[in-house]
Amino acid sequence: MGQILKSEANIFGSALNFNYFFMKILFDIIRNLRVNTMNKSTSKILFLFFVVIIAIYFLFISWDNTILQNLTSFLLFTFLALMAEIMSINLPDGAEVTVGFAIFMASILVLGTRISVWIALIVALLSEIKRLLRLPYNSLLNISIYVIMVGISGYVYEYMGGAPGQVNLLKDIIPILSLIFTYLVVNIVLITIGISIIKGEPIIHIFSSNFKWALPNYLALAPLGVLLAIIYINVGSLGIFLFLVPLLIARHSFQLYMNMRKIYLETIQALATAIEAKDPYTRGHSERVAMYSSIIAEEMNLPEDFLNTLNFAALLHDIGKIGIPDEILNKPGKLSEEEFDRIRIHPILGANIVEKIDFLAQASSYIRFHHERQNGRGYPEGLKGENIPLGAAILAVADAFDAMTSDRPYRRAWNLDDTLHEIESNSGIQFRPEVVEALKNAVKKGRIRIDAG
């Protein structure tokens, strides 16, 4: 018996080492893709090739004819996992979150990794069947990631001493924590890299945007997975259906959470639309400034919290113009000094409006100071240099870039070269130099174009 256990441990250890070898190669390839000028199509193919190969490897070592001996349990967990995937929740940048983690975790604890890997394959195939022909790349990627997540986390669980079919929380706490940690890390790493390659966006941006929302909910699902396994082992199939109630509640809570975020964003969009209704020449201006600001901030490797606040501020940076008469805003000729004084108060009006809204309060300083200049000759307070908040300095460059490259009642839009030359010539005078450099880098990479809006 001891020899058998030793042999099994060697198998699991070999699987872990083999997977580590493949994952190391995968990350080396991804890192090199950012250094070299490899095109997007080649990057996608290479990434898909490696994840498919790793998935096939796990399927190969996981083939087990005991599936037929556990057919009822196999079908039950397959059904539960499939229902969980069908009820998935979309995240902001294209990824999905489901309560399937709890099901797959319970399957590993009850049935073992080998059977669970095949459950993952069947569930993934059935979930992707509608778009397999329409979006083969995305479908193959998702299917492979399912298999890899369950395979790696399951074998780590067994390698750390976990035994399928028996769960003792005191004895198995280390194997269970290892399973949870491995599943989450593999999920986050593979999906983040995949979306980054598909969309061509920085990995850190994708990670923060999606999994900042998902991580707490995955961790909340882990105890449910353990509970599901314990119920099934001690009560049987009937206990599973009683367990579905808290699982559905968990899913509903996360859906409400994402719906609230959507309402917040729609509120901001409605406010931005109200601003632009006053001035037909600036229609789409706020959205473009938000886009340019986000790209510039990404080029500066700023954190996701900063990007979110900056995006809100960009969409609402001109909301104070609601308090400016239309005849001044739409005047085709030169403004008088008195009229210009009225225009100068719009950042203050905007900041006063925004700071009264809880989830927008942090954006108010960016709005208040986005017309300040590096040399201290801006408005409304004449701040200088580093005293100007970085978010406001980014808005200033993005706002000026869009204003120069858009038609106005009194002039035609500038071309890209003239616009960049003008902004660069005012670096350190009107604009913060590092922000100007980030804009130039984004244009050079093709991330910002005049026709982007």
pTM over 0.75: no
Here the tokens at position 309 are: 């606040």
Q: Could you read off the pLDDT of 75-88 as tens digits, one per residue?
A: 999 998 888 877 77
Q: What is the pLDDT of residues 208-257, one digit of tens each?
A: 666 666 677 678 888 888 988 998 888 887 777 777 777 677 677 777 87
Ranges of each domain in the chain: 2-258, 277-452
Closest CA to 296 of 216, 395, 362, 382: 395
pLDDT for position 282: 63
For the chain, residues with pLDDT lower than 50 are: 1-9, 11-12, 14-15, 18-19, 22, 29, 33-37, 452-453
Interior angle at CA 23, CA 20 and CA 24, nearest 5: 85
* pLDDT confidence of residue 452: 43
- Specify the pLDDT at position 373: 95
The residues with which 427 forms a beta bridge, in sequence order, are 431
Determine the pLDDT at residue 213.
62
pLDDT at 22: 46
Q: What is the pLDDT of residue 96?
A: 62
Superfamily of domain 277-452: Hypothetical protein af1432 (1.10.3210.10)
Phi, psi of 431 (to 5 degrees): -115, 150
Q: Of 3.40.50.12500, 1.10.1760.20, 2.130.10.10, 3.40.50.720, which CATH number belongs to 2-258?
A: 1.10.1760.20
